[in-house]
Amino acid sequence: MNRNLQEEIEEIEEAEDDYVNSQSWTVEKVAARPDQRVGWFTQTFPPIAVCWLILLVIMGLRIYFASLWRESESELMAANRNLKNLNDKLCVLENQITNLTTVNQELEKQSQKLETQTHELETRNQELETERNLKGQIQNMETTWNKVNVSRAQWSIDEYCPKENKVSGRLCKACQEGWVLNKSSCYLFYDADPPDQKTWDEAREDCRGRNSDFIIIDNKDEQYVIQSNSWHDYEYWIGLRAEGGRWKWIDGSDLNESDWIQDQPPTDGQCAVSVQDNRLKQYEWISVSCAERYRWICKKKSLSV
């Protein structure tokens, strides 16, 4: 583009030189004839003036367009430089974005690791807290158990070996006060009146609270003890109840002497009571609902003295 514009300017300059030379030759030719000078000048001046005017316009346009071209070229070069600078900056920004993306990915990985570690630490902390609570509970239970054992030991001493007086000291017995001794066992016949009578489960809990359990009658000698110490026509809970269509003692053993209880099939929810029938002069076991309320008999081993 720059070369074509320069060639056009050179052609315009050559045309101007040719025109000036031709005019000089014409003037010389006219001057050779003085008598025609005035007429010739009058005829040729307007075209010459027009030509000069055109030439001036062309030169002005040439200068104007040359100026515009230089300004445009300067602007284009400045714009080109700006674009190049912007391109360089964009390249730098792209590199920075790439680096930031890589850094962000690394940070996300580290964040995920930290979250995992935090979760693991929280889980471990909960486990430690639970373990600490359990240790505290165990210590409290051990302390309580020790106190209970001491209390039970003192209670046992006081129950089995009560202080008679300051002189004679303690006098130990095989069974506590109110319990009946038979060989190596102690029996409690709880003759509660109807307001204080209990269901089978409630009565068994009472026996357990006395470090004993329901009586299990597995021999004639023990049956005789019950007959001898039971009130006539009073029903007492014993450790026998129906489970799975069979009569079972509280130690899990089956009832062997089936003729000792009423002749009726065992039904779950039924328990046995012992009765000394004074009218019939006989002792028997009767099947009743476990939810009924009766007296009860507890049994435990005697103290060796």
* Sequence spans of domains, the chain: 1-139, 180-301
Strands 235-243 and 295-301: parallel
Question: What is the distance of C-alpha 25 from the center of its chain?
Answer: 112
Closest C-alpha among 180, 169, 203 to residue 274 = 203
Q: What is the pLDDT of residue 31?
A: 46
Give, to the nearest 10 degrees, the angle between helix 37-160 and helix 2-31.
170
CATH of domain 180-301: 3.10.100.10
Q: What pLDDT digit, counting tens, does each position of 263-296 carry?
A: 667 888 999 999 887 665 677 888 999 999 999 9
Give pLDDT, residue 246.
87
Contacts of 234 (CB under 8 A, 6+ apart): 191, 275, 276, 295
Among residues 263, 253, 256, the alpha carbon closest in space to that of 286 is found at: 263
Helices (H), the chain: 2-31, 37-160, 200-209, 220-229
Q: How many whole angstroms separate alpha carbon 64 and alpha carbon 7?
A: 17
| Exposure class string for 131-152: b at 16+ Cβ within 10 A, else e | eeeeeeeeeeeeeeeeeeeeee
Quick one: pLDDT at residue 236? 94
Cα torsion angle, 153, 155, 160, 165, sign:
positive
Nearest-angstrom CA–CA distance, 209 and 141 = 19
Please count the CA atoms within 13 angstroms of the CA of 121 that sit on its side-chain side: 6
Q: How far apart are CA 250 and CA 242, in angstroms?
A: 10
CA 275 to chain centre: 61
pLDDT < 50 positions in the chain: 1-2, 20, 23-32, 149-155
Residue 70 pLDDT? 82
CA 204 vs. chain centroid, Å, equals 44
